[in-house]
Structures are given as structure tokens and as C-alpha cells.
Structure 1
Amino acid sequence: MSQVFPQPEPESGLTLRKLTHLIYGLFALGLISAGFFGVATIAAIVLAYLKRSDAAGTVYAPHFDWIIATFWWGLLWFALSAIATFIFIGWLTGLIALVWVVYRVARGWLALFSGNSPTPGF
């Protein structure tokens, strides 16, 4: 008598890889919409914080740390730029902060597509 082993079911639901893509996508949507969908960026950060422990020890954990750090540093630089508008350099520093945040999101997302962790640095 031969045994019949059940076939593994295809992955269903939200895997960590899909979740990480969703987080990057929501963050990018918030940036592209110039704040109109700012809730998308907040949702991305909340998801990153909520699922951070699930990703611990995987290749996705550095991505969660990367996006969280990008958010908080970006928020700091945007706030300082808003204050600096009173001395007329805030628009320039705000533009630099925006370019930096877009660069970090793109760099992290591209690393995710290639299956790597985002490299530390700039």
C-alpha cells in the first residue's frame, strides 16, 4: 500500500516579501501625491512597526529598519526646513530632504527587488 502525501499549498495571504513591497509602495504613494495621500505614508510606517518583530532574523528585517529610519529622519529634516523658511533657506533644504527621502525609498525598494538588504550609508 502506498502512502499519498498531500501537496503543499501555494503560498496564500500576505508574505513578508509582499508586505515589504506594500510598505515601500505605500510610502512612495505618500511621496508622489505630495501629501494628498499622506495617510499612505503613515500606514506604511504603522505596518512596518507592527510587522517588524515578524521579520526579525530574515532578509526583510533590514528593510523594515530602513524605511522606519527614512521616515523619522525625513520628518526631522522636513520640520527643520519648515522652520528654516523664516530665514529663506527652508525651501532649498526642504527640496534636498525630499530628494534624500525619494533616493532612500528607491534604493531600499531596488535592493528588495534584487533580494538584498539595503546597504547602510547615505
Structure 2
Amino acid sequence: MAETDYAAFAAKTPGDRTVMHVLYGLHTVAWLSGGTLAVIALIVNYIRRADEQDPLYASHHSYMIATFWWTVLWLVVTGPLWFLLVLPGAAAYTIIGLWYLYRCLRGWLRFADDRAP
């Protein structure tokens, strides 16, 4: 069994950590921009994840990407509720928004503790 040479992995810098905090922040306040900030963060997540060697950072990028796409899916699936009556559509979007906020804050707190999402 071959041993992993951990010295070959580049050490994480404070800047890498700051980028992750900024990405979580963008995802968390995305509702203020109608989702534009989330799309920007998503693009950066894809770019950074492609070059990421640290499993902790890669898992957090994947977590944010999955959270975004699951949210989009549920918004599309529940979108027709707005045509029935306003109340079911508003209730569905509120629940989805709260779930998105929960996922962002949970991931952000776990990242701050150096834990996987």
C-alpha cells in the first residue's frame, strides 16, 4: 500500500480561507440581489473546485454547488403554485428560502470549525 506524500499538497493560505468565507457570504445574502450573488459565487465555486486538492475545501465547494442547484430545482418545481393562488407559492418559496439559508449557515459554521459540511 502506497503512502500519501502530504508534503506534495500546497498548504492553504489565509487568502484561500478568506475566499471560502466570501463565497459562503455571497450565497447567504444572495436573496438581496435576486440570486445574482449566488450565481457569481457558483461560478467561482466551480473554478476553485476544479483546482482544489484539499478534500475539506473541495467538499465545501461541492456543498455550495449542490445547495444552489437543489434550490433552483425546488424553485422551478414549486413555481406553478403561484398560478394556483399566491399563498401556496409564497409559502413554498419561503420554505425553500429558509432551507437555503439554513444550508448556507450550516456549511459556513462547519467550515469555520474546519469540519466537512
TM-score, scaled to structure 2: 0.79
The total of aligned residue pairs comes to 103
Relative to total residues, which structure has the larger helix share, 1 or 2? 2
Measure how far apart 1:106 and its partner are. Answer: 0.5
Give deviations 1:6-55, integer Å, cap 9, x for gaps.
xxxxx57x32x222111111112212x151xx321111000000111222
Which shows bigger deviation, 21-30 or 106-115?
21-30
Among all aligned residue pairs of Structure 1 and Structure 2, give the percentage whose two residues are the same amino acid.
32
Q: 2:75 aligns with which of 38, 56, 78?
A: 78
Equivalent position SS for 2:55:
coil
CA contact (8 A) 1:81 1:91 kept: no
Instruction: Calculate the aligned-residue CA RMSD, in Å.
Output: 1.7
CA deviation after TM superposition for structure 1 residue 87, in Å: 2.0
- Consecutive unaligned residues of structure 1, counting only runs of 5 or more, are 1-10
TM-score, length-normalised on structure 1? 0.76
- Distance in 1 of aligned mates of 2:69 and 2:41: 12
Q: 1:2-81 maps to which residues of 2 (within 5 A)?
A: 14-15=15-16, 17-31=17-31, 33=32, 35=34, 38-81=35-78
